[in-house]
Chains A and B, each alone.
Chain A
Amino acid sequence: MNTTEDRPSGRASSRDENASVVLDVRGLHVTYGSGERAVTAIDDVSFTVQRGEFVCVVGPSGCGKTTLLKTLSGLMAATRGEVFVDTKPVNGPPPGLALVFQEYTRSLLPWLTVLGNVTFPLAAQRVDRATREERARSALAEVGLSGFEEKYPWQLSGGMQQRVAIARAVAYRPLVLLMDEPFASVDAQTRAELEDLMLLVQRDFGMTLLFVTHDIDESVYLGDRVIVLSGRPTVVRRSVEIPLPFPRDQLTTKADPRFVELRSSILDQIRHERSGSHL
């Protein structure tokens, strides 16, 4: 049984007025293509994320969830709107952001060992060798991969590879960790383990997470808050607080009547979005 312990007092709740806003998205608008074939993926998306929050983002298929993360991480340019990371405006990949992809195998460098992969972003930042190795090893320990440092990613199972990608993000110590449907490609059992791992990581490092998923149960299980997006052209429909207690547990939390209620409400909303959206 995977459990996480009580929240340390330092963890911010979204109601805490003194918590700093670490991610501020205002009026984001993303269109690609031009002329008649222009597609507006995101119309007007605004939201904030407080330090230490675990915010999940859900929406109907094709609603631009991935586009959102790509824009936030600087891989794609927004057509309009502003993004602030730690009050600084974003142009291009902002420092202090890490992104974990759905395709874990393809995001790991096959010519580097697990340790090499985890230290890779730090090496690029010119962090000295001793420090980056130490951070990497403790990150790997955190995700349960101690002892696998000298293996190559392709020698590991899918779930383990995703753990390496998570360790890489953790070692990087980002202000915000963006995750793009990271567990969509693993089997259900592994997914449950990785979900609990994220809760653990969140608790241990007080990390701020923006977690995109199509799995509503997952979003309610993990998040302090769930942002529900509309269909294309995408706007923020709702921001749902998840007052479920910590520690969260795959069995007890999911049996909680409030869990059922929240997920139903969100699912209902998304169904509504799906039928009403123009795709």
Chain B
Amino acid sequence: MKATRRWGILGLELATPIVLIALWWALSAHSSSPYFPPLKDIVHGFFQTWKGSNLTTDLLPSVLRFLVGFAIALLAGISIGLLLGLSPRARRDLSPLTEFSRALPIAALVPVGLVILGPGATMEIALIAFGCVWPILVASTDGVRGVDPVLLDTARAYGLSRRQRIRTVVLPAALPQIAAGVRIAIGIGIATMVIANIFGATSGLGYFVIQAQQSFDVLGTWAGLLMIGLIGVLANGLYLIVQHRLLAWHRGWRASTEGS
């Protein structure tokens, strides 16, 4: 592709968000609407909020809980998914339980979490982990099942033990699928991080945002809204960076087999 064309497309891609933000800024500059203050004020409020104590009392705890819950889900999801992927029998026997748990909206389990564990970090982490584990588990199972049998036969013929095959063939082959599940889990995890933090909480991002809403603190609400959005974008962005690195081979491989 010609260089000028490339820059043209890049310019186009950047233009849209810039134009949208500029429009927002301009259109809201003299706004008298109570819920849509000027963007300028919103931005100012955002920095005011998050440079202050809210950073450590609300933002940090929530993010940490997300990270811990997500890590648990990652570990459990991949290992259980691996086991289920390798054993058709286990997969079949546990399928009613897994299918049902998948279909359950995690928000519906917040009351259960409250009742069993009470409000607090433990409950929130548990809920985040439970919500995130299913997409990862399902993706891991599918990824493991989908490994090309020729690849496995090759490894077997060269005398690799079962363990070696799992480590050096099955898991890398399943990685693209697992990554897709991880991405879905990130979205669920952040939403859960907020929702689980609404009831009975005394600190955290969800608590902050609901407090702001209930006390009609419009700028505070916006600050919370933007922060949650920012976390979502950053988490996804981080995922994309890691995925780009780890799965560069997958893009190339897909591209080469697509034409055949």
Chain A positions within 8 Å of B, measured between CB atoms, are 70, 73-75, 93-95, 97-99, 101, 103, 105-107, 109-111, 120-121, 123-125, 152, 154-155, 172
Contacts and interface: CB of A to CB of B under 8 A. Distances in A.
B157 A73 contact: yes
A97 B164 CA distance: 18
Contacts of B169: 109
A244 B196 CA distance: 80
Interface string B11-40: 000000000000000000000000000000
A73 B173 CA distance: 23
Contacts of A123: 168
25 contacts: A70-B153, A73-B157, A93-B157, A95-B159, A98-B157, A99-B153, A99-B158, A101-B154, A106-B150, A107-B150, A109-B151, A109-B173, A110-B253, A111-B172, A111-B250, A120-B168, A123-B168, A124-B159, A124-B160, A124-B164, A125-B159, A152-B249, A154-B252, A154-B256, A155-B256
SS of B interface (majority): helix
Contact of B158 (A106, A111, A124, A152): A124
B217 interface: no
A7 B158 CA distance: 29
Contacts, number: 68
B155 to A, nearest CB: 8
Contacts of B256: 154-155
**A74, A107, A111, A155 — most chain B CB neighbours (10 Å):** A111
B99 interface: no
A98 to B, nearest CB: 7
Given A106-B150, A109-B173, 9 more contacts: A93-B157, A95-B159, A99-B157, A107-B150, A107-B154, A110-B249, A120-B158, A152-B253, A154-B256
A99 to B, nearest CB: 4
B244 interface: no
B53 interface: no
Contacts of B154: 99, 101, 107
A215 to B, nearest CB: 21
B215 interface: no
Nearest to B255: A154
B257 interface: yes
Interface residues of B, number: 23
A121 B153 contact: no
B159 to A, nearest CB: 5
B44 interface: no
Nearest to A117: B154
Nearest to A156: B256
Interface string B169-192: 100110100000000000000000
- Across the A-B interface, give the 4 residue pairs with the lowest CB-CB distance, nearest first: A106-B150, A121-B158, A154-B256, A110-B253
Contacts of A107: 150-151, 153-154
B154 to A, nearest CB: 4
A50 B256 CA distance: 41
B148 interface: yes
A93 B151 contact: no
Interface in B242-260: 249-250, 252-253, 256-257
A103 B172 CA distance: 20
Given A120-B168, A124-B164, A124-B168, A111 B156 contact: no
Nearest to A97: B157
A120 B159 CA distance: 11
A74 B164 contact: no
Contacts of A98: 157-158
B250 to A, nearest CB: 7
A164 B172 CA distance: 20
A54 B224 CA distance: 74
A65 B209 CA distance: 69
A108 B151 CA distance: 7
A121 B169 CA distance: 12
A74 to B, nearest CB: 7
A99 B159 CA distance: 11
Contacts of B252: 110, 152, 154-155
**A73, A94, A124 — most chain B CB neighbours (10 Å):** A124
B173 to A, nearest CB: 8
A172 to B, nearest CB: 7
